[in-house]
Chains A and B, each alone.
Chain A
Amino acid sequence: MKATRVFQLTALVLVVVSVVQVGWWVLDRHAQTHEKVRAARAAYAEQTAAAQALIDAGVSAPRVHELLPQIVVAGGHAALAPQVNEALRTEERHRDNQYAWEGSFFLLALGACIAVIARALRAEARVLEQQDSFLALVSHQFKTPLASLQLSLETMALRTLSPEQSRTLIDRMLADLARMEAMVTQILESARLERGRVEFKSEPLELGAAVARVVAHLEERARQERIRISCDIEPGLYVASDPLALDVVVRNILENALAAVTPLGGGSIALSARAHNGEVELSVRDSGVGFRPADSARLFERFTRLHPRGGSGHYGTGLGLFIVHRLMHLGQGRVSAHSEGVGQGAHFVLTWPAAQGQRS
């Protein structure tokens, strides 16, 4: 912030000094031009006087004009030719205009340079600030599972526990470790997305197969939590996406749904898909804790963890849906979330461009 203030002050001083300098320069050039024109006029006045003297001495008008071409003689009177007078005035105007334009252009260029530098500095400051808050948030996110892990271990060290109590603590510690591992993965993914260091291929992928792979991976966990996952995706629906991105997106959206249903002690997650207007839509509907409709946009921001009133078992890094949103955006797709309110379940819709050559 301090550096920005210094830059602002320097830029202001530079602009003020430049404006004064350019103003002074324009006035100076104007004065010089004026002086030159005045000198020219004085010289012409002398020629006119000389011409008049020649006429008075009896020299013929054509001879006078021949000797002094800028002078015209009419009715025995010598005068400066009107076009010469006009040329002097035009020259004066032209010079003044030239200086004004050059001065303004210089100031404009200077302003543009300052604006470009200011923009670059601001962007850099923003990146630094984001990195700082990212680090602060990440370390905060890790402290909670770490605290839980330490508490469980110290409880085991301090107290005599029954086998069931030990089992509960071990399960809790394993879940904390799994949570930290998932956080590391998600943080790395989101950091790569943030820096734009993602190579995004686009190829035709069969949605049904991709979803089935992720569902198979999560089925055991869903069964333990008494969550029924139903999948109604007809074969032959192809989306244009990156294979890894598609896998990450579907996994994150399903893990989010599982996390939303788990606190209610069971429920359902229904997946369906359809082709529509050159796009393929995947709909994920869960009977979980839901969210307030006003929060639907905030849901996709980084580190947003909406804790619905109904849920006490909601774990999350606040990164899963952020990753989904970024990856969908990168692949020219989109994602939206809907809920009637807390306790009303949620409905996520993922839309990809349909792959070329897809059977409709």
Chain B
Amino acid sequence: MNATLAATRVLVVEDDPHLAAGVMENLRAEGYEVSTAGDGERALAWLREQACALIVLDVMLPGIDGFGVCRTLREQGNNTPVLFLTARGDPVDRVQGLESGGDDYLAKPFHLQEFLLRVRAILRRWDWYRSASSTAATAVLRFGGNEVDFRVFRARAWNGEAQELTEKEAMILKVLAEHAGEIVSREDLLERVWGYDVFPSTRTVDNFILRLRKRFEKDPGRPRHFLTVWGVGYRFLTEGEP
């Protein structure tokens, strides 16, 4: 697997040949290496052999649909970012897409420049995450008996329990760890982890913090590492609050 190629390669999974061609040509014009797949099974087969930096995934695919492809990838431990393209643009589908492990969601018909912007935003977030986890010092985070390996999205909790992190949990933890001891606002976390307007509410961040507390705090009801700063956001302490 060629790592440099994979870093600029995008897989477009779209069953409509015109749309697939249009998306492919535009991504190529932006300097990306593009591969296409016409259905979910072929996309999964391609991804078993090769790697890419982003998957542009249509939802209504023949056979296994886009949500199913994304869920399968996540279950297989493949954390490649996914941008959903779909004709179904209502909020329920949007939430379903993001819950199945997607990073962003764009309803058809879409604006070309918005599409390209979102592609860049997702790749920028992942570039940051990868480079922030690339050295031996930054790849692993230790706090309060917990040990998190950002490269493989795995952790060992203080009680010895193995934990599989979702990429959003890992990203939030990464942002908090980079700013350990400082106050990080909910808006900052949203911006860094999801981008601009994907989720309508900062409540989402709160839910993810609750999940992190459950995984890593000895008493999630009285957290010592993931502290709430009322009205602002959160503060992460490596040493734990005395």
Q: Which residues of A contact B (CB under 8 A)?
A: 139-140, 143-152, 154-155, 158-159, 172, 175-176, 305-307, 309, 312-313, 315
Closest chain-B Cβ to A85's Cβ sits at a distance in Å of 79
**Bound form: Cα–Cα A139–B18 in Å:** 18
Closest chain-B Cβ to A240's Cβ sits at a distance in Å of 38
Does B29 touch A at the CB level, under 8 Å?
A: yes
Q: In this complex, what residue of B is CB-closest to A165?
A: B25
Closest chain-A Cβ to B144's Cβ sits at a distance in Å of 49
A154 with B111: CB separation less than 8 A: yes
Does B149 touch A at the CB level, under 8 Å?
A: no
**Bound form: Cα–Cα A149–B112 in Å:** 11
**Bound form: Cα–Cα A159–B29 in Å:** 9
A155 with B87: CB separation less than 8 A: no
Closest chain-A Cβ to B45's Cβ sits at a distance in Å of 11
Interface size class of B (residues with CB under 8 A): 20 to 34
**Bound form: Cα–Cα A143–B62 in Å:** 16
Does B26 touch A at the CB level, under 8 Å?
A: yes
B25 with A144: CB separation less than 8 A: no
**Bound form: Cα–Cα A159–B110 in Å:** 17
**Bound form: Cα–Cα A149–B111 in Å:** 11
Q: Out of A158, A159, A172, A307, which one reaches B18, CB within 8 Å?
A: A172
Given the known A-B contacts A143-B108, A143-B109, are A152 and B62 also in contact in the complex, defined by CB atoms under 8 Å? Answer: no
Given the known A-B contacts A154-B112, A154-B113, A307-B62, are A143 and B87 also in contact in the complex, defined by CB atoms under 8 Å? Answer: yes
B112 with A147: CB separation less than 8 A: no
The interface residues of chain A lying within 8 Å CB-to-CB of B108 are: 143-144, 146-147
Within 8 A of A (CB), among B45-98: 60, 62-63, 87-88
**Bound form: Cα–Cα A152–B21 in Å:** 10
Q: In this complex, what residue of B is CB-closest to A152?
A: B22
**Bound form: Cα–Cα A150–B26 in Å:** 13
A155 with B19: CB separation less than 8 A: no
Instruction: Count contacts between A and B, CB distance < 8 Å.
Output: 70
A140 with B87: CB separation less than 8 A: yes
Q: Out of B38, B88, B112, which one reaches A158, CB within 8 Å?
A: B112
Does B164 touch A at the CB level, under 8 Å?
A: no
Q: In this complex, what residue of B is CB-closest to A157?
A: B112
B26 with A148: CB separation less than 8 A: no
Closest chain-A Cβ to B88's Cβ sits at a distance in Å of 7
Within 8 A of A (CB), among B2-60: 15-23, 25-26, 29, 38-39, 42, 60
Within 8 A of A (CB), among B164-181: none
**Bound form: Cα–Cα A309–B38 in Å:** 8
**Bound form: Cα–Cα A306–B63 in Å:** 9
Closest chain-B Cβ to A154's Cβ sits at a distance in Å of 4
The interface residues of chain B lying within 8 Å CB-to-CB of A152 are: 18, 22
B112 with A306: CB separation less than 8 A: no
Closest chain-A Cβ to B59's Cβ sits at a distance in Å of 10
| Apart from the given pairs A143-B109, A147-B109, A158-B112, 12 other A-B contacts in the complex at a CB distance below 8 Å | A139-B87, A140-B88, A143-B87, A144-B87, A145-B18, A147-B19, A147-B110, A150-B109, A152-B18, A152-B22, A307-B15, A307-B63
Closest chain-B Cβ to A199's Cβ sits at a distance in Å of 35
Q: Out of B17, B22, B63, which one reaches A155, CB within 8 Å?
A: B22
**Bound form: Cα–Cα A148–B22 in Å:** 7
Mask of B104-144 contacts with A, CB within 8 angstroms, 1/0 = 00001111110000000000000000000000000000000
The interface residues of chain A lying within 8 Å CB-to-CB of B19 are: 144, 147-148, 151
**Bound form: Cα–Cα A175–B21 in Å:** 14
Given the known A-B contacts A140-B60, A140-B88, A158-B113, are A151 and B22 also in contact in the complex, defined by CB atoms under 8 Å? Answer: yes
**Bound form: Cα–Cα A147–B88 in Å:** 12
Closest chain-A Cβ to B98's Cβ sits at a distance in Å of 20
The interface residues of chain B lying within 8 Å CB-to-CB of A159 are: 26, 29
The interface residues of chain A lying within 8 Å CB-to-CB of B22 are: 148, 151-152, 155, 172
A312 with B38: CB separation less than 8 A: yes
B60 with A151: CB separation less than 8 A: no
The interface residues of chain A lying within 8 Å CB-to-CB of B26 are: 151, 155, 159
**Bound form: Cα–Cα A145–B18 in Å:** 8
The interface residues of chain A lying within 8 Å CB-to-CB of B113 are: 154, 158
Q: Out of B21, B87, B110, which one reaches A172, CB within 8 Å?
A: B21
Closest chain-A Cβ to B61's Cβ sits at a distance in Å of 8
The interface residues of chain B lying within 8 Å CB-to-CB of A154 are: 111-113
Q: Out of A139, A148, A158, which one reaches B16, CB within 8 Å?
A: A148
The interface residues of chain B lying within 8 Å CB-to-CB of A144 are: 16, 19, 87, 108
Q: Can you list 14 A-B pairs with a CB-CB distance of less than 8 A?
A: A139-B87, A144-B16, A146-B108, A146-B109, A147-B109, A148-B16, A151-B19, A151-B23, A155-B22, A158-B113, A172-B22, A305-B62, A307-B63, A309-B42
Closest chain-A Cβ to B31's Cβ sits at a distance in Å of 13
The interface residues of chain B lying within 8 Å CB-to-CB of A158 are: 112-113
B62 with A148: CB separation less than 8 A: no
A313 with B60: CB separation less than 8 A: no
The interface residues of chain A lying within 8 Å CB-to-CB of B111 are: 150, 154
Closest chain-A Cβ to B69's Cβ sits at a distance in Å of 15
The interface residues of chain B lying within 8 Å CB-to-CB of A309 are: 39, 42
B23 with A307: CB separation less than 8 A: no
Within 8 A of A (CB), among B197-231: none
The 4 closest A-B pairs by CB, nearest first: A307-B62, A143-B87, A147-B109, A154-B112
